[in-house]
């Protein structure tokens, strides 16, 4: 084992030699497993909680919108399916960001005493959340399908890559937030209300077509709105054809990831002093 | 007072330094205002250093070869821990470069890098993953570590429920089982309870005998002299002195003598509480209290050994102001104390024609463990040397004026 540390150079980079790569894989696997088990191990309901929370939310939305507001059908699906298909990815992204933001602090003891690429912590945190949430997503779709709702299951073929595009972008934002949180503790507190506002500004609980004409381009500019629309294309309408927009979205996601990682790597050598 | 000579390593590894530091510097950002953190983030993103910094380490260079242990000494806040963290790779230096050619095992503070929520077992796997060892490879070593740490059922509890002693035990067990080329330790030589301390000291000795290299950060000059060939004295992040351990530690002690203006240095409290430690039970001087310069001084005494093994006696002579004059131990001269009863050892030392100049001195006898590492008990007598002379210093050196 040989290592040379240069000031400002990437001794902490996730992609060093093959020895470093092997080590980083082992470390990621360790963190990932730990994130999965620790998350639900302490709670009585265990993994079921991962499903219960969104199901309960869905139930409440069903009550409010279908029963109280008497919302009709949107785009050939019941309101419940219409919301479920979009709400899940949003909740996954939201939870992924919130957990990742504070992830560095929870590994503080390690960061202060051992040399390892700090970004692995964020990767493990985001991956654990998204994997669990994707499993929940599929399970809920099955529940809805069994309940007689019309779900186009072949749409999962597109939903999975879409989910990966989302994961790429979410990881990038998570890297940014996690790095900032180390220095400025307010990030965590601003994030919660901000995500709440963003959720209502995204066409999750309503279709874009109901938005007044003049405001529509603003709402449509939301990248998450694109994801929601594509999810509905796939799972409600069964339209699997790729669009040019998908390539653009992928580029945006990769660029987001790159930017987030750049910021993270700029700041991470100084974590030790602040975490 | 050096550790046993290392077994000769390969020619190749002899030529190449195990560790090389070249003008290392580390700055820490100083946050002065509420918006300071935001400003710092902005500066870092632009690729500039922080506007206002504290230089924790500045311009430190040294080389470490296999088997040549180094002790790092200095006051609190001198930058010792920062330097160790740089070597361990935990932080990157702001200036200079570090070259490491070997596996570094670090025991920084308590429990080197354990996750408090993980169980003891999970932390072993984590430590292995941090070193790039896969779970299957760690399987055999895991048993070694568990046996060494000897924590029984607690291995399945989260680390946060451990006492600090238990954490250190596990940390030591992990760091040692991975057989590092360089072991960095931060004053944790004697940790845990009595029996575990013994294990630590034993392991450390065999590690050094095998040619292992120790990077020890300690406030105990005795340990630095005993375990390290070289020493480095840091003050305010800069190297004051670097060289042979004995010379550097003495320079450091002399600096402290000067600094503490008070004439009397408080002696470390004697720790003879129970039958459980190596202790001086009798210590007498002949003549007692006062003697003429150049007379013979006889010291004799008896020691208690709780486990029946032969302890090491260290006799030290210091001036009334605490300046050390001379010290010698039984293990240096290979003159072990005589066994007079299963748990009792006696020693007799003659200092013929004692060349101490007139003045007031303290003669101390220290009881150490058989490894000669840990100091357990001290008994002190004062001795006045009488006589009239205008010579200066502490000792009359043999001399001769020649007439040519």
Q: What does the pLDDT look like over A178-193, one tens digit per residue?
A: 999 999 989 999 999 9
Mean pLDDT of the region A50-54: 73
Parse chain B into domains and list their residue ranges: 279-386
pLDDT at residue B13 is higher than 50 = no
How many domains are contained in chain A?
A: 1
Cα separation, A168 vs A160, whole angstroms: 13
Q: Is residue A170 a part of any domain in this protein?
A: yes
Closest approach of B120 to chain A, Cα-based (Å):
14
DSSP calls for A126-176: HHHHHHHHHHHHHHHHHHHHHTT----GGGHHHHHHHHHHHHHHHHHHHHH
Residues in B closer than 8 angstroms to A18, CB to CB, are none
Average pLDDT, chain A: 85
Neighbours of B153 (CB within 10 A): 7
Q: Which of B1, B11, B12, B13 is nearest to B213 (CA)?
A: B13
Q: Cβ contact (<8 Å) for A109 and B94?
A: no
Q: Cβ contact (<8 Å) for A114 and B130?
A: yes
Closest approach of B258 to chain A, Cα-based (Å):
34
Residue among B54, B106, B129 with most chain A CBs within 10 A, to mutate: B129
pLDDT band of A255, cuts 50, 70, 90: very high
Closest approach of B136 to chain A, Cα-based (Å):
11
CATH 3.20.20.60 for the B279-386 domain, yes or no: no
What is residue A42's predicted lDDT score, i.e. its pLDDT? 59
* Residue A89 near residue A159 (C-beta atoms within 8 A): no
What is residue B204's predicted lDDT score, i.e. its pLDDT? 81
Mean pLDDT of the region B109-126: 78
Q: Cβ contact (<8 Å) for B44 and A12?
A: no
Question: Among A71-75, A215-219, B151-155, B211-215, which is the least confidently predicted range?
Answer: A71-75
What are the φ/ψ torsions at residue A136 (nearest 5 degrees)? Answer: -65, -40
Q: Is residue A11 a part of any domain in this protein?
A: no
- Measured CA angle at B124 (ends B123, B129), to 5 deg: 90
What pLDDT, in 10s, does the model give residues B148-174?
Answer: 888 889 989 988 898 878 888 888 888
Residues in A closer than 8 angstroms to B88, CB to CB, are 113-115
What pLDDT, in 10s, does the model give residues A203-252?
Answer: 988 888 888 988 888 888 888 989 998 999 899 988 888 888 899 999 99
Q: Which residue does chain B place closest to A2, by CA atoms?
A: B101
Residues in B closer than 8 angstroms to A30, CB to CB, are 125-126, 129
Q: Cβ contact (<8 Å) for B41 and A184?
A: yes
Three-state secondary structure string covering A21-80: HHHHHHHHHHHHHHHHHHHHHCCCCCCHHHHHHHHHHHHHHHHHHHHHCCCCCECCECHH
pLDDT at residue B301 is higher than 90 = yes
Residues present in chain A in total = 275
Residues in B closer than 8 angstroms to A272, CB to CB, are 85, 90-91
pLDDT band of B268, cuts 50, 70, 90: very low
Domain extent at residue A197: 18-274
Q: Is residue A151 a part of any domain in this protein?
A: yes
Cα separation, B204 vs A251, whole angstroms: 55
What is residue B338's predicted lDDT score, i.e. its pLDDT? 93
Q: How far apart are the first and last CA of chain A?
A: 28
pLDDT band of A53, cuts 50, 70, 90: confident
Residues of A with CB under 8 A from a CB of B: 1-9, 11-12, 19-20, 22-23, 26-27, 29-30, 34, 38, 107, 109-116, 180, 183-184, 263, 266-267, 269-270, 272-274
pLDDT band of B348, cuts 50, 70, 90: very high
What is residue A36's predicted lDDT score, i.e. its pLDDT? 83
Nearest to A183 among B40, B47, B92 (CB): B40
Residues in B closer than 8 angstroms to A266, CB to CB, are 44-45, 47
Grouping H, G, I as helix, E, B as strand and the rest as coil, residue B316 is strand
Q: Is residue A262 a part of any domain in this protein?
A: yes
pLDDT at residue B209 is higher than 90 = no
Between B202 and B248, name the one with better pLDDT. B248
pLDDT at residue A5 is higher than 50 = no
Closest approach of A118 to chain B, Cα-based (Å):
11
* Residue B313 near residue B303 (C-beta atoms within 8 A): yes
Q: Is residue A263 a part of any domain in this protein?
A: yes
The percent of residues in chain B predicted with pLDDT above 90, rounded, is 25
B70-73 and B213-217 beta bridge pairing:
parallel
Instruction: Provide Rg for chain B, Cα atoms.
Output: 25
Nearest to A26 among B95, B98, B132 (CB): B132
Chains A–B, number of C-beta pairs less than 8 Å apart: 113
What pLDDT, in 10s, does the model give residues B361-401?
Answer: 989 999 998 888 888 888 888 899 988 888 888 899 999 99
């Amino acid at each position: 084992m040989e290592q040379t540390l240069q000031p400002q150079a990437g001794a902490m980079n996730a992609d060093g030699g093959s020895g470093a790569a092997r080590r980083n894989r082992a470390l990621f696997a360790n963190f990932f497993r730990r994130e999965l088990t620790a998350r639900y191990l302490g709670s009585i309901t265990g993994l079921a909680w991962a499903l219960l929370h969104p199901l309960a939310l869905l139930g409440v939305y069903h009550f409010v919108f279908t029963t109280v507001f008497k919302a009709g059908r949107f785009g050939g699906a019941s309101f419940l399916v219409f919301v479920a298909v979009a709400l899940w990815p949003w909740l996954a992204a939201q939870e992924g960001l919130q957990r990742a933001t504070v992830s560095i602090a929870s590994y503080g003891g390690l960061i202060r005493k051992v040399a390892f690429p700090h970004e692995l912590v964020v990767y493990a945190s985001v991956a654990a959340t998204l994997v669990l949430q994707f499993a929940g997503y599929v399970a809920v779709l099955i529940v809805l399908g069994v309940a007689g709702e019309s779900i186009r299951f072949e749409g999962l073929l597109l939903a999975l890559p879409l989910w990966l595009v989302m994961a790429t972008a979410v990881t990038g934002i998570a890297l940014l937030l996690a790095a900032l949180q180390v220095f400025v503790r307010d990030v965590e507190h601003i994030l919660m209300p901000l995500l709440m506002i963003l959720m209502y500004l995204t066409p999750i609980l309503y279709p874009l077509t109901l938005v007044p004409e003049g405001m529509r381009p603003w709402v449509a500019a939301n990248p998450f709105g694109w994801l929601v629309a594509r999810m509905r294309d796939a799972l409600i309408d069964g339209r699997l054809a790729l669009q040019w927009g998908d390539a653009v979205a992928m580029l945006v996601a990769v660029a987001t990831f790159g930017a987030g990682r750049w910021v993270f790597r700029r700041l991470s050598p100084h974590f030790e002093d602040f975490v | 007072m050096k550790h046993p000579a290392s077994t000769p390593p390969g020619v190749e590894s002899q030529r190449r330094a195990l560790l090389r530091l070249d003008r290392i510097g580390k700055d820490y950002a100083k946050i002065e205002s509420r918006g300071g953190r935001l400003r710092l983030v902005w500066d870092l993103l632009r690729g500039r250093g922080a506007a206002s910094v504290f230089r924790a380490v500045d311009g430190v260079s040294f080389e470490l070869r296999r088997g040549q242990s180094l002790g790092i000494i200095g006051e609190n806040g001198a930058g010792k821990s920062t330097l160790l963290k740089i070597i361990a790779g935990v932080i990157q230096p702001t200036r200079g470069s570090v070259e490491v050619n070997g596996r570094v095992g670090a025991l920084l503070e308590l429990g080197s890098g354990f996750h408090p929520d993980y169980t003891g077992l999970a932390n072993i796997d984590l430590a292995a993953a941090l070193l790039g060892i896969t779970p299957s490879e760690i399987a055999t070593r895991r048993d070694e570590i568990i046996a060494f740490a000897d924590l029984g059922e607690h291995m399945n509890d989260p680390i946060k429920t451990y006492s600090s002693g238990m954490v250190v035990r596990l940390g030591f067990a992990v760091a040692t089982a991975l057989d590092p080329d360089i072991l960095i330790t931060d004053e944790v030589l004697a940790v845990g309870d009595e029996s575990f301390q013994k294990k630590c000291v034993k392991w450390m000795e065999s590690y050094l005998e095998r040619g292992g290299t120790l990077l020890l950060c300690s406030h105990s000059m005795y340990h630095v002299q005993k375990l390290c060939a070289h020493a480095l004295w840091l003050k305010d992040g800069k190297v004051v002195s670097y060289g042979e351990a004995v010379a550097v530690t003495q320079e450091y002690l002399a600096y402290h003598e000067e600094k503490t203006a008070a004439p009397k240095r408080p002696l470390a409290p004697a720790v003879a509480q129970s039958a459980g430690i190596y202790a001086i039970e009798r210590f007498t001087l002949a003549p007692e209290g006062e003697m003429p310069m150049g007379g013979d001084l006889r010291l004799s005494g008896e020691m208690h050994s709780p486990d029946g093994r032969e302890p090491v006696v260290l006799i030290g002579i210091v001036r009334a102001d605490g300046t050390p004059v001379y010290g010698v131990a039984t293990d240096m001269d290979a003159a072990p104390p005589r066994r007079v009863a299963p748990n009792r050892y006696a020693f007799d030392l003659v200092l013929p024609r004692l060349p101490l100049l007139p003045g007031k001195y303290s003669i101390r006898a220290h009881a150490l463990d058989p490894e000669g590492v840990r100091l357990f008990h001290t008994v002190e007598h004062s001795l006045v040397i009488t006589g009239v002379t205008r010579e200066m210093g502490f000792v009359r050196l043999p001399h001769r004026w020649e007439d040519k």
